[in-house]
Structure 1
Amino acid sequence: MTGSPPLPRRVEVLAGLSIAIDLGLGQPAEHMLRSAVVACRLADRLGLAREQRATIYYATLVMWIGCHADSQEYARWFGDDIAVRRDSYLVDWSGLPYLRFLLGNVGRGEPVGQRVKTMSALFRDARGNIATLVHSHCLSAAALARHIGLGPDVEQAIAFTFERYDGGGLPTGAAGDAIPIEMRVAQLADMAEVHERLYGADGAMAMVRSRRGGHFDPAVVDAFCAHCADLFPAPDDDPWQQALDLAPDAEIRLDGAGLDVLLTAIGDFVDLKCPFALGHSRSVAKLADSAARQVGLSAADTDAIRRAGFVHDVGRLGVSNQIWSKPAELTGAEWERVRMHPYLTDRVLTRISGLGTIAAIARAHHEHVDGTGYPLGIGGAALGRSERLLAAAVAYQSALEPRPYREPMSAEDAAARLRRRAQRGALDGDCVAAVLTAAGHARSRMHRDDTLTPRETEILGLVARGLSNREIAERLVLSEKTVRNHVERTYTKIGASNRVGASLYALQNGLAGPPD
């Protein structure tokens, strides 16, 4: 699209991923970015090599990526998987204090009877059960690091995330220098960031000293304490920009194919949070892409809706699996948390330069034309054709997948449900027809009867954006006369007499598309 911003740098997308990881940790956005700043500065104080510093940077950003892939198991033992991860930052993971922490969090938020049952199952072999969970995390983290294109050094380092310097960690009990120095630095930076934010520099140093020789490498602790005042971002600093400036490959900008590969990997990562959603994001992106071509969206708009499909559910990471996996009706409070996940998607994606249009489409994937959707309840002219297409694609694909409260629907039942939603005004009829055609169903009668061709629809969208006939001709590589003929035929078909009338029609029917 002419005038579109350049595609983001690779590190920007990975920084956005780190904010998504923060959601699942119960930490404020930019926790992992701040931790990466601390870790890199600490690496410099330790005199580590450039290659080690590069590994430390990315290992710190994504060290907890495996937790989200195992959210189902966390929820099985601890109920609210996000709450237990958040609170675990405040305890040392060894000895009786850690056992008391586990005991206090087993089945968190569940009825008393269920908590007792889960507690009995866990503590029959507490270390064995936790070791199994940690081992799964480490395998998941390494696989995901490889999947998103990080190097073997990062993959190796994050396999040691749960190990301790004293050998009391999991899953292998590695100790001392057997734990890569990159992870020894990342571990301390991750924990210290939380304690400094909550209790100040003195609180962070007290925590770090208390774990010297236990959780943390004494040499790393000593370097941290000697330079603590210089390691943390200042309150008025921008952690996002500071972290990007420290990136070892800050200059690498993605091309279209590279962006698709990375967004696909992130969507795969998000889907792992809920086993019943495996492959959901890929399927939605493919369906939305095909439907966009059906209705004649431009190549740029088709790219945007496909990419929004890959990452529309990133905000799911900020909602506990205790809710996603509930087989019964949600409470009002639980439903409000579910309604927040598109907003959380927006928070992640809007931080990444060049993804503004993608974020706008993705955050609207549960909005309805009649204003009954969420999170904002917007509708009508506020939803462009891309947003309406993605909403229809998400609704169809979700129907095909199992949920804890229902079995998967057949393709015909899913199509019938989509048509019913279009009939009552929740989904756009044209977009439903396009999605169903893309999904292999017989072409349905279009909800509108204007019989616009794909080219006329495209030109109407450009007219609504305020482009002149000459500008449209230049953009579409057509003659100005040809454009004028298309515009006149379009006006006749939709009953408009001027540009204002045509623009209002485009808005009301979601044909205007996003602005340049």
Structure 2
Amino acid sequence: MAEDDLRLAELLCALSVTLDLAMAQAPEKSIRSCLVATRLADRLAVDDQRTVYYATLLRHLGCTATTHEEAHRMGPRAGELRPLAERTDVANRRESLTVLRQIGQGAGIRRLQYVARTLTAGEDDILLAICEVGSMLADRLGLGPSVAEALYQNLERWDGTGTPRGLAGAEIHIATRIAEVATQAVIFHSLGEPVQATLTRRQGTWLDPEVVAAYDDSLLADLAEIDVWQETLDTEPRPWSLIRPDRLDDVARTFAYFVDLKSPYLFGHSTGVATLADEAARLLHLDDADRATLRRAALLHDLGRVAVPTSVWERPGELRRADWEQVRLHPYRSERILARSAVLEPVAALAALHHERIDGTGYPRQVKGSELSTAARILAAADCYQALTQDRPHRAAHSPERAAEIVLAEAAAGRLDADCVKAVLGAAGHQVPGRVSRPAGLTEREVDVLRLLARGSSNAEIARELVVSRRTAEHHVQHIYAKLGVSTRAGAALFAMQHGLFTP
């Protein structure tokens, strides 16, 4: 093990919270299931415990692949049904009817339409997509063919009535059989229901009887007292899976794909932002370390999207207040997911800022001015431009030329950094004027205003000097204060002195 190698489990345990949120489950459900599965594998003397560990931890790696289809088929609250569907035995008529009664809830007169779609369409296409994508993403993570195969078999059943191949009994990967029992145990334990009785009732049909027989409640009795995060890391079978630091981009890119699968409107968004941000950082001469952090933050900036229902992201009209509150929180959720990992903590702080604006009008924290690093300003500009060039439910994609006009207008209005916008546009292949290096995103006109302001000129005097209206001068002053993160003339003067702005 090289000194700077990273533990893959430490990264994936943190990122597994994204899977929990996408499944509308409580954070740490995946790592709890992983811990129970590893204990079961040890009790059963399974040789390949590494596959059990990763196949359970990443059990829901394909779950964003079908959220668009689920919302179309089952209604705007389809995502809320996932916890119920996950614990439902589809061979049990009573349990299946319980799910069916929830289809289309909240859709008003369209509810019957959603019920009809669900009954006529079946589930095979959705279930196959989940298995296929989970397997493909596991392969991208370099986890090996055994983990990829176990995830592909995720929805097989012991009695041979599952998906995608209809495998039965020991034909199903042992890691998949253990993961199912462990996952169901954690789910029913969290609901306060008798786990042993539930598993026993399902053995021989859904679940492997031998795995069920090896289970008892001692395997999860301590979960409320221990640090399950650390315990799961400590339980990873040896030898640990390690990656070189330069492979961190591969992990980040895999989870970018996971997030962007949530809606066809998002396909390629995170990777597109990362490409623009990385090239803009090069044009602005960020050092290699800052550039790498920015690139990874761009890939992972939208992890929190998965906690917001697909029906919100795909709403064709104006967002309702409740929808908007969920949207405003997604950068914060991205930060909290990433901050769980010591390796990803610098990325977390930056990713959380992708919707902030230098005049303080962004979200979720209304950070402004000098509090935003150059990397944060690049990320905001890249995210804005990339989104403008993609279709959204309420509008068609803007042409690159129109998108450039919009982000330049945002810079002129003091919301995006002008230099960073120009760098992003350069990265996108636009011909832009030569870059000027002005601190805090000040425009040349704002530098002129700042010099007068710092010397004590009033708004009226600034207006006369620059031959603009008093109202325009007032707007310039307000934008300058916002960009600098100050609220007094003296603070502005000090900033001007520190950055040598008293001479052209």
* Alignment partner, residue 31 of structure 1: 29
1:162 pairs with one of 155, 158, 161? 155
Confirm or deny that 1:17 pairs with 2:8.
no
Q: Does 1:317 align with 2:306?
A: yes
* Residue identity matched to 1:138: C
- In structure 1, how many angstroms separate the alpha carbons of the residues matched to 2:223 and 2:439? 59
> Alignment partner of 2:194: what SS?
helix
The number of residues matched between the two structures is: 447
Q: Give 1:232 deviation, angstroms.
A: 4.7
Query: 40, 44, 51: which one pairs with 2:38?
Result: 40
Q: Does structure 1 residue 113 correspond to structure 2 residue 106?
A: no
Range that drifts further, 181-190 or 153-162: 153-162
Listed one character per residue, the Cα deviations across residues 273-301 of structure 1 (whole Å, up to 9, x for unaligned) are: 12222221111111111111222211111
Aligned to 2:198: 207
- Residue aligning to 2:61: 65
- In the TM superposition, residue 91 of structure 1 has moved relative to its aligned partner by 2.9
Report what 2:212 is aligned to: 221
Q: Distance in 2 between the 1:341 and 1:83 partners?
A: 17
2:252 paired residue number = 263
1:175 aligns with 2:172: no
- Contact 1:281-1:310 at 8 Å conserved across structures: yes
Q: Is the 8 A contact 1:195 1:204 kept in 2?
A: yes
Counterpart Cα distance in 1 of 2:243 and 2:106: 43
- On the 8 A contact 1:78/1:84 being kept in 2, the answer is no
Q: 1:54 to 1:251 in 2, by over 3 A?
A: closer
Q: Give secondary structure in 2 for the equivalent of 1:16.
A: helix
Describe the shift of the 1:449–1:391 C-alpha distance in structure 2 as closer, same or farther (beyond 3 A). closer
Q: Which amino acid aligns with 2:118?
A: L
**Mapping 1:273-292, distance limit 5 Å:** 273-292=262-281
Instruction: From the superposition, tell whether residues 321 and 300 of structure 1 become closer, same or farther in structure 2 (CA, over 3 Å).
Output: same
Displacement of 1:505:
5.6
User: Cα gap change, 1:250/1:312 in structure 2, threshold over 3 Å: closer, same or farther?
Assistant: farther
The separation in 1 between residues aligned to 2:184 and 2:425, in whole angstroms, is 49
Q: Percent identity?
A: 37
Question: Quick one: structure 1 residues 178 and 420, their matched pair in 2 at CA, closer, same or farther if it must change by over 3 Å?
Answer: same
Q: How far, CA to CA, are the matches of 1:377 and 1:97 in structure 2? A: 49
Q: TM-score, normalised by structure 1?
A: 0.81
The question of whether the paired residues in 1 share the 8 Å contact of 2:177 and 2:207 is answered with: yes
1:150 equivalent in structure 2? 143
More moved, 59-68 vs 233-242: 233-242
Matched position secondary structure for 1:144:
helix
Partner residue in 2 for 1:85: 82
Per-residue CA deviation, residues 414-470 of structure 1 (Å, 9 max, x unaligned), is: 111101111222111221122112222222465765799xxxxxxxxxxxxxxxxxx
Question: Is there any run of 5+ residues in structure 2 with no aligned partner, and where?
Answer: 442-492
Distance in 2, matches of 1:178 and 1:131, equals: 20
Quote the Cα distance in structure 2 between the aligned partners of 1:304 and 1:196.
39
Q: Could you say if the C-alpha distance between residues 123 and 252 of structure 1 is closer, same or farther in structure 2, counting changes exceeding 3 Å?
A: closer
Matched, 1:354 2:354: no
Whole-Å separation in 2 of the counterparts to 1:250 and 1:313 = 32
1:371: how far off?
1.3
> In structure 2, what is the Cα distance between the partners aligned to 1:504 and 1:55?
60
Paired residue secondary structure (1:340)? helix
1:166-195 deviation line (CA, Å, top 9, x unaligned): 233233332222222211110011111121
Task: Quote the offset at 1:33 in angstroms.
Answer: 0.5
CA distance in 1, matches of 2:305, 2:402: 26
Shift of 1:106: 2.2
- Distance in 1 (alpha carbons) for counterparts of 2:238 and 2:325: 39
The yes-or-no answer on 1:187 pairing with 2:183 is no
> CA–CA distance in 1 between the matches of 2:296 and 2:14?
15
Is the 1:11–1:249 Cα contact (8 Å) retained in structure 2? Answer: no
Structure 1's unaligned 5+ residue stretches are 453-499, 509-516
- 1:451 and 1:43 mapped to 2: Cα distance? 56
Instruction: Provide the rounded CA distance (Å) in 2 between the counterparts of 1:99 and 1:385.
Output: 53
Return closer, same or farther for 1:165/1:391 CA change in 2, 3 Å cut-off.
Answer: same
Rounded to whole Å, the distance in 1 between the matches of 2:90 and 2:231 is 30
The normalised TM-score by structure 2 is: 0.83
Compare 386-395 and 287-296 and name the one that shifted more: 287-296
Q: Find out whether 1:102 has 2:77 as its counterpart.
A: no
Structure 2 vs 1, CA of residues 504 and 356 (structure 1 numbering), >3 Å: closer, same or farther? farther
CA RMSD of aligned residues (A): 2.5
Q: Distance in 1 between matches of 2:100 and 2:398?
A: 40
Question: Given the superposition, is the C-alpha separation of residues 120 and 451 from structure 1 closer, same or farther in structure 2, using an over 3 Å criterion?
Answer: closer
Q: Check if 1:337 corresponds to 2:351.
A: no
**Other-structure match for 2:131:** 138
> Measured at CA, do residues 29 and 386 of structure 1 come closer, stay the same or move farther in structure 2, by a change above 3 Å?
same
CA contact (8 A) 1:164 1:175 kept: yes
Pair 1:247 & 2:240 matched: no
Q: Is the 1:7–1:355 Cα contact (8 Å) retained in structure 2?
A: no
Change (3 A) 1:144 1:232: farther
Counterpart CA distance in 1 for 2:28 and 2:365 is 25
**Worse-matched range after superposition: 165-174 or 215-224:** 165-174
Deviation at 1:503, TM superposition (A): 10
Deviations along 1:299-348, whole A, 9 cap, x unmatched?
A: 11111111111111111111111111111211111111111111111111
Secondary structure at the residue paired with 1:27?
coil
Deviates more, 1:405-414 or 1:289-298: 289-298
Seen in structure 2, the aligned counterparts of structure 1 residues 241 and 443 have a Cα distance that, compared at 3 Å, is same
- 8 Å contact kept, 1:34–1:193: yes
Equivalent residue number for residue 400 of structure 1 = 389
